[in-house]
Structure 1
Amino acid sequence: MVRERKYLGAETNAPVSIICNCCCKRCARKRQRRCLPPEIIFNILLHLPALVIRDVMRHVCREWNLMIRSPYFIHHHLRNSIGGIIIQPLFLAGKSTYVVMRRGCLEISEFDCGFAYAIRTSCNGLTLIPDSRDIYTLYVINPLMKQRTALPPFPHTVDIHSEFKLAFVEASMEYKVVNARGPKPLNPPKQIAMLTIGVDRVWRHIDVQHLPLTARTALTTFPLVTGGYVHWIGETFVLTLSAETETFCEFPMPQLERGFRKFLPMDGNLSVVYCSNELSRDVWEMDSETGEWTMLLSFDLKPLLHRFKDLFSNEKSVTYLGWLAVREVLVLSTICFQRHCIAYNVKTGEIQSFELGTDCSNTKPKVYNFVAHKNSLVCLEGGF
C-alpha cells in the first residue's frame, strides 16, 4: 500500500508509486556513482580505531560489515593499529585505564577486561586472565569484542599467572600460550609447557634439558613477549623462544657496564633502557629474530626532574613502564607513587602528564600493573 502525498505528483499527475520507484532508482544510481572504490574504503577503515569500527562502521551497511569481518581486513587493521598501555590496580581495587598516543595527543579511557583479576599478558588484543571463581581456569579474552575461550586445564597447580604468556605465529595465524614454571618454581625446569589455541586439547611439553644450566635458570624469571617471541633475561644474555619453530636461541647482551637496566617490549622487538650516567639514559633495541642489538637513542632526565620536583627527588626514583609510540614516547612514573604518570617523548623532549583515578575512601598509594596492549578485532570464535 502506497501512502498518498499531495506534493508527490502534483505537477505530473503520475501515480505516487511510480514516482517513488523512479526516485529510488535515481537515488540508487546517484549513490552508486558517488560510492568510493572498495580498495579506498578498505584503506580508510584501516586507519580508524578498532572501537569505532566495532561500534559504528560495521553497522553502516552489509558490504562494510562483510569487509570488516574478513580475516584479511582484521589482520591488516591489526598491523596498522596503534598500541597503548593497560593500567590496572594490582589488586583491582579500582578502575582500569587504557592509554594510547594518537597524533601526538594522549587518549585516556576506562578499560573493562570483564574479569576480576588483572591482565598479565596481552598479544594482538587478546589477553590471558584467570577465572574469578576458579583461578586454575584460564581464559583467552578479547575485551573489545567481548569474546573468550577457556584453555584446557594446566597439568599442575598454578601460583603465579604472570608466567603464562601469549605469542602470535604470523606464518600460521595461530596463537600459542607458553609457561616455563614447573611444579618447583625456584628450580631450573626440565621442560616447558606449550599450547596452541584452538588446536591442542592438552598441554604439550618441550624438553629443555639440552640447554645450559644458566639458560634453564633464566627460565625461572618473568618472561617478556614481542609478537612471536618469548624472552627470558639472564645476566649476560637473552634466552629467546620462537613460538613458530618452538626452539630456543641464546643471544648475548650488548657491551654495557654494570648498572640499571629496564627491559621493555617495543612492538615486535625487545628494548632496554640503560643508565649510562646519572641523568642520561640509553635505549637499545634487539631484533627478536636475529638477536642483533642496536643503539637506538639517548635521552636526558634533567627536564623531567626539573619540571616534576615534587615527584622525582632524583633519577633513582624514576621507573619506566612501557612504550606508547614505538621508539619515541616512553611512559614513566615514580617507584612508589605510580598514580601520577608521564608520557615523555625522548626524541623531542615533549612532556605530557596524567593521573590515574583516585579512591577517596583509600588514601594509601596503589601499586599498578602496566601491560602493553593493542585493541583489535581479532576473533576467537569466528565472528562478532
Structure 2
Amino acid sequence: MADADDATEPKTAGSINPHIFHCCKSCARKRRTKYLPQEVFFEFLSYLSAQVLYDVMRHVCKEWNLIIRSRDFINLHRLRNSTTGILIQECWPMADNVVYVEMRRGCMEISKLDYRFKNLVWASCNGLVLVDDPRDRQILYVINLLTKQWAVLPPFSHKIIFFPSFGLAFCEASMEYKVVYASGEEFLNPRTRIHVLTVGVDKVWRCIDIKPLDGFSYRIPFVIGGYVHFIGKTVVLTLNVETEAVCRFSLPQFIIASTKRGKFMAMGSNLSFFCVTTKFLRDVWEMNPITGEWIMTLKIDLKPVRHRFKEISQVKNFLSLIPCCWLVVREVLLFCDWHPTRHCIAYNVKTREIRLIELSTDAKRHNFRGHVNSLVSLEGGF
C-alpha cells in the first residue's frame, strides 16, 4: 500500500502484553508512573469510530498513534465497528458526487466524503473499495477512502466489458482480500469463467472454468461475507472465496416467476430476495450459502403507513418503490421512487419511522453500495 506517512510496525520488546506500545525507553519509564494501564487506552480507543481515530486520536500522542497503527488494534476495531453504512454515488453525469450514510446510536448521519472520485466504485469490503484508472480502465486500484492508501492490481489479461461484474471479498481465516470477476463467452465458446486475484499475493489472475449460466445477470456479483453469488435466470452460482469452491443452487420457482417484480440484495451474511407480493406487502427471503435453502424471514406491510409515505415523500404509486439496500439489516431499508425525485426514503420496518435523504440529482442516477469507514489496509496498518 502506498502511504505518504508510512512507518514501521510498532515493537513491543520488553513487554509481555502484546497491546503495550512504547515509542522509546523514556516513554517506557514514564509509563510506570501513570495510573491507567495501557490496556485501558487500547480498549477505549477500539470503541471509537474510524473517522475520529484517524482525524483526532492518532495525533494526541505517539503512544496512541502506535496503538491505532498496530495490526491487533485494527483487527479488533474492524470486528467491533462492523456496522455498515451506504455509499451513495452519482453515476451520471458525474461520479465525484458521493455521500456516506450510516446509523450511529439510533441516529442517521449523512456526510460527504473528502476523497476525490474520478470513476465509480465497483466494489467495497471492510472499508476498501475497488476502482479503475480513468485513463486506462484495464488498471484497477484498491483504496481505503479514509486513510487514502492505495494499491494497484496486476493488469487484467482479458478485455473488461462490464465493470459491475467485479467483487471484492475478505477471507477471514487467511486475512487476505480477493478480487473476483466473471466473464462469459456464450457466442464464441459456451463457457463461463471466474477470474480470481489474491491482492498483494498473486502477480497474475487465476481462472476457474465453470459451466455456463443461463442469461447475463450473473455478471453482477453479490459479495456477502466469505461468499460471492452470481445470479442466473434459474440458478445461483456461489463461490466460497476461502476455498474457491463453486456450488450451483437452483432458484425456487416462486422467485423465478417474481424476478420482474422483485430484487436480489445483500442482507447481513446471506443473499436475500425482496419480493413484491401485493401493492403494499413485501416478503423478504434469505438463502443459506451452504445448503442453498431459501427461508422467508421478514414480511413488510406498507399499508398502515401509506398516508405518511405520501405526505413525507410524495409517493404516487407504492408499486414504483424500489428497494435499494439495507442501511441497518432487518431494520432500516432504503427505497427509491421510480418516478423522478431527488431523495431516497429510509424506512424503519420496526418503528415505522420515515426519513428522507436529499440528493443532488434524481435518485435513480445513483449507485447504492454497502460500505464502512475503517482503518483496514492490505498491510494491517497505515
SS at match of 1:308: helix
Give 1:204's aligned residue. 206
Deviation at 1:160, TM superposition (A): 1.9
**1:238-294 CA deviation, whole Å, 9 max, x = no partner?**
211011111111234456363222111123222221122221111222233443433
Deviation at 1:198, TM superposition (A): 0.5
Contact 2:185–2:192 (CA under 8 A) maintained in structure 1: no
Structure 2 unaligned blocks of 5 or more: 1-29
Give 2:55's aligned residue. 55
Deviation at 1:105, TM superposition (A): 1.2
Contact 1:329–1:344 (CA under 8 A) maintained in structure 2: yes
Change beyond 3 A, Cα 1:241–1:29: closer
SS at match of 2:64: helix
Which whole-Å CA distance do the structure 2 matches of 1:130 and 1:111 have between them? 18
Which whole-Å CA distance do the structure 2 matches of 1:225 and 1:168 have between them? 9
Contact 2:283–2:299 (CA under 8 A) maintained in structure 1: yes
Question: Residue type matched to 2:377 in 1?
Answer: C
Greater mean alpha carbon deviation, residues 345-354 or residues 288-297: 288-297
1:324 corresponds, among 324, 327, 340, to 327
Give 2:282's aligned residue. 281
Contact 1:88–1:95 (CA under 8 A) maintained in structure 2: yes
Give 2:249's aligned residue. 251
Aligned ranges 1:108-257 → 2 under 5 Å:
108-182=110-184, 189-208=191-210, 211=211, 213=212, 215=213, 217=215, 220-254=218-252, 256=254
Which whole-Å CA distance do the structure 2 matches of 1:308 and 1:256 have between them? 28
Give 1:347's aligned residue. 350
Deviation at 1:330, TM superposition (A): 0.6
Change beyond 3 A, Cα 1:356–1:294: same
Change beyond 3 A, Cα 1:80–1:216: farther
Question: Residue type matched to 2:77 in 1?
Answer: H
Deviation at 1:199, TM superposition (A): 0.6
Deviation at 1:165, TM superposition (A): 0.8
Change beyond 3 A, Cα 1:367–1:287: same
Give 2:15's aligned residue. none
Aligned length: 347
Deviation at 1:223, TM superposition (A): 1.3
Contact 1:175–1:197 (CA under 8 A) maintained in structure 2: yes
Greater mean alpha carbon deviation, residues 185-194 or residues 48-57: 185-194
Greater mean alpha carbon deviation, residues 223-232 or residues 92-101: 92-101
Question: Residue type matched to 2:317 in 1?
Answer: N
TM-score (norm 1): 0.82
Deviation at 1:182, TM superposition (A): 4.2
Which whole-Å CA distance do the structure 1 matches of 2:306 and 2:33 have between them? 58
SS at match of 1:32: coil
Deviation at 1:229, TM superposition (A): 0.9
Deviation at 1:382, TM superposition (A): 5.2
Structure 1 unaligned blocks of 5 or more: 1-27, 359-363
Which whole-Å CA distance do the structure 2 matches of 1:178 and 1:187 have between them? 21
Change beyond 3 A, Cα 1:254–1:117: same
Which whole-Å CA distance do the structure 2 matches of 1:294 and 1:98 have between them? 31
Contact 1:272–1:284 (CA under 8 A) maintained in structure 2: yes
Change beyond 3 A, Cα 1:65–1:356: same
**1:117-154 CA deviation, whole Å, 9 max, x = no partner?**
01121111111111122222111111111011111111
Change beyond 3 A, Cα 1:187–1:99: farther
**1:10-56 CA deviation, whole Å, 9 max, x = no partner?**
xxxxxxxxxxxxxxxxxx799712x2x44443333222111111111
Contact 2:71–2:381 (CA under 8 A) maintained in structure 1: no
Contact 1:305–1:313 (CA under 8 A) maintained in structure 2: no
Which whole-Å CA distance do the structure 2 matches of 1:190 and 1:344 have between them? 39
Question: Residue type matched to 1:325 in 2?
Answer: V
Which whole-Å CA distance do the structure 2 matches of 1:30 and 1:315 have between them? 65
Question: Residue type matched to 2:132 in 1?
Answer: P
**1:157-182 CA deviation, whole Å, 9 max, x = no partner?**
21221111111111000011111114
Contact 2:46–2:77 (CA under 8 A) maintained in structure 1: yes
Greater mean alpha carbon deviation, residues 183-192 or residues 324-333: 183-192
SS at match of 1:376: coil
Aligned ranges 1:301-380 → 2 under 5 Å:
301-309=302-310, 311-337=314-340, 339-357=342-360, 367-380=365-378
Contact 1:157–1:183 (CA under 8 A) maintained in structure 2: no
Change beyond 3 A, Cα 1:238–1:66: same
Deviation at 1:319, TM superposition (A): 0.6
Change beyond 3 A, Cα 1:295–1:135: same
Contact 1:115–1:132 (CA under 8 A) maintained in structure 2: no
Question: Residue type matched to 1:340 in 2?
Answer: H
Which whole-Å CA distance do the structure 2 matches of 1:250 and 1:146 have between them? 38
Structure with greater Cα Rg:
1
Deviation at 1:110, TM superposition (A): 0.4
Question: Residue type matched to 1:121 in 2?
Answer: A
